[in-house]
Structure 1
């Protein structure tokens, strides 16, 4: 237990629990989104209403929690929140489009790409280092490539269903052929994973400059509401699509606003602040387990062989990256200890 409570001087138990809850909320979100779209609700309108309601719910928290301890709210901070929201709103639109064209299971499998993308971006922004002659660094590089290869397996190879549920209803919006829908949906979900990785990386910088998590989440949600609202007004031409009814669509909006946006955004932002982007990214492979289970129960979704093979490849690649990172941290910690000892010993000898 001490290993969890005191890792690198900070508590990792609470971020661990927080990320498990966050991934479960996101998996449930994918299932209820598909359910609402099957019921005829417009995906862009759903984003706007969910974000708007979440903004209202977060407002009193943002106004009163730790009010006296916050840094001043500057234009620079607001601009950072706006950019975070722009990344988040783009990811939301890609997620909803990808789920509509494919399935929640495929969307969840593609989330496993987030650790690989996060690692590549961390290298680009010098948050991670790689030493090509070291086996641990080679494991990180190879693991990243393997994860990306697994994503292409998920997208390009659907395969036969290996978990077939009684429902035979098709949930795809057949604008194209079913296979082309699957491929396009996969690429949209991959785009969502890339944007989510960018969101994690940029979040580190933002939380260092402005550590009040609830304020960051509130302004993100407000700006996403505005951004997606403008986009929805452009692409949704049917006024009746904006009408709210006492049906499943309203329940989905409530779930999205409270769990998938409010709670999930807060837990992810707080966990990134406490444990870093790669620690949080490592929980994404768990999402496919939750999504397959929930999708089978509530949607009657089939689970395809291609999704299983690709997800396994992605997870193997991901844990190769994590093994390499853990090995490098041990080596760096050993070097730091040796340097500390070399600095301390001469002082002791002089005193003797």
Structure 2
């Protein structure tokens, strides 16, 4: 990848970073929308995560033989492996809380609550001295104001029920209304989903900081991504075997939308974490986080088209 190696001009390199992150965020929202639909067809979250991350690690496996052969890399010590294992555990927690939160609410809410990710990441980056704050600098003041506004915005989305912006209608050839939760439970489900998605935001922010640290001491994006996906597959599958011990049939995947969702998730994941590792190495953890709020626009459009979501100013 010559552009990633730093041979391109600065403006072209910035364009590559920007394009890569926009593609990543669009793909993630697309997977969330597809997952929301697949759950209505019987897809369980734990097989979904276990199988998709296992397949993602298999897709990344060949890259280990063609990348990171440089002798400048430090040895893969127990310390580095432990940190990657911790990153995998955090990743498992945020994908589990995130996708369960989507089951209770919607991809649109998930994208809206992503507003807290830049704020939390910025706070953690200050604590771990990855970012410096000076009240005399406009950039620092802008980051502080953005932090406050993003936290307020996330709270408004969860707790404020405002007017409807538009009411989506299903295409005549698909009836998505049958997948909507009963009106009597929608309010409590929305709050539960919001709480889980807030927890996800915390896990994501912590993982960004840890990922930045790992890439600073072991800058091997493909290898770190491979080990990470293996860890997430093991952790999510283990938790799933415990949670679903009385329901082994959930691990049987049929050749329908559930299989398509798993394969698509695996492909997106294998690219997603390589791009994240590469970006966080060169741009820092806050650069990853600032793209999260952009996903709400993508989620609103996809939710209206594919899930029959109506858009409110606040929650519904």
TM above 0.5, yes or no, is yes
Instruction: Report if the CA contact (8 A) 2:113-2:197 is conserved.
Output: yes
TM-score with structure 1 setting the length? 0.80
- Residue 143 of structure 1 is matched in structure 2 by 146
TM-score normalised by the chain length of structure 2: 0.89
Deviation of 1:289 after TM superposition, in Å, equals 1.4
> RMSD of the TM alignment (CA)?
2.3
Q: CA deviation at 1:13?
A: 2.2
> Which ranges of structure 1 fall in alignment gaps of 5 or more residues?
309-352
Aligned to 2:82: 79
Does structure 1 residue 270 correspond to structure 2 residue 273?
A: no
TM-aligned CA deviation for residue 229 of structure 1: 0.9
Structure that is richer in helix per residue: 1
Q: Deviations over 1:209-231 (max 9, x none)?
A: 11110000000000011111111
Find the residue that maps to 1:177 and give its secondary structure.
Answer: helix
Q: 3-state DSSP class of the match of 2:177?
A: coil
Q: Is the 8 A contact 1:207 1:273 kept in 2?
A: yes
1:157-211, Cα deviation, whole Å (9 max, x unpaired): 2434322122472645569821111011112111111111111111111001111
Q: Does 1:99 align with 2:105?
A: no
Distance 2:38 2:84 in 1: 29
Question: Which moved further from structure 2: 139-148 or 84-93?
Answer: 139-148
Q: Does 1:255 align with 2:241?
A: no
Aligned to 2:164: 161
Asked whether the 8 Å contact 1:165–1:300 carries over to 2, the reply is yes
Match of 1:31 among 27, 33, 40: 33
Q: Is the 8 A contact 1:174 1:181 kept in 2?
A: no
Greater Cα shift, 51-60 or 164-173 = 164-173
Rounded to whole Å, the distance in 1 between the matches of 2:199 and 2:43 is: 23
Contact 1:109 1:307 in 2 (8 A): no
SS of the equivalent of 1:159 reads strand
Residue 136 of structure 1 and its aligned partner are, at CA, apart by 5.2
Larger radius of gyration: 1
Where do residues 118-267 of structure 1 align in structure 2 (5 Å cutoff)? 118-132=121-135, 137-167=140-170, 169=177, 171=179, 177-236=185-244, 237-259=246-268, 261-267=269-275
1:285/1:125 CA distance change after superposition, 3 Å: same
**5+ residue gaps, structure 2:** 1-7, 171-175
Measured in 1, the distance between the counterparts of 2:193 and 2:69 equals 43
